[in-house]
Structure 1
Amino acid sequence: MVTLRLYGHPFSSYTWKALIPLYANATPFEFRAVGPEHPDNGAFVAAAHPAGKFPVLVDGETTVIEATSIVEHLALNHRGEAPLIPADPTAAATARMLDRVFDNYVMGSAFRIVSAYLANSANPDAAEVEGGKAGLRRVYRWLEEWLTAHSLPPHVSLVTCGAAPSLFYADWVEPIPAEAPRLAALRTELLALPAVARCVDEARPYRHFFPPGAPDRD
Structure 2
Amino acid sequence: MQSRALSGTVYVGSDDMHLYAIGASDGTFSWSRQTGNTVFSSPISAKGVVYVGSTDGTVYAYKTSDNSLLWQFTTGGPIYSSPRVVKGVVYIGSNDDNLYALNATTGVPIWHFSTGGPIASSPAIVGGIIYVGSNDSYLYAISSKGIQNWRYQTSGAIASSPTVHKGVVYVGSNDDYLYSLNASTGAFNWRVPTSGSIATPHRRSQVAPSLLAHLMAPSTPSMLPAAPHSGVTRREDR
Higher strand share: 2
Q: Which has the higher contact order (CA 8 A, sep 6+)?
A: 1
What TM-score bracket applies, with the shorter chain setting the length? under 0.3
Higher helix share: 1
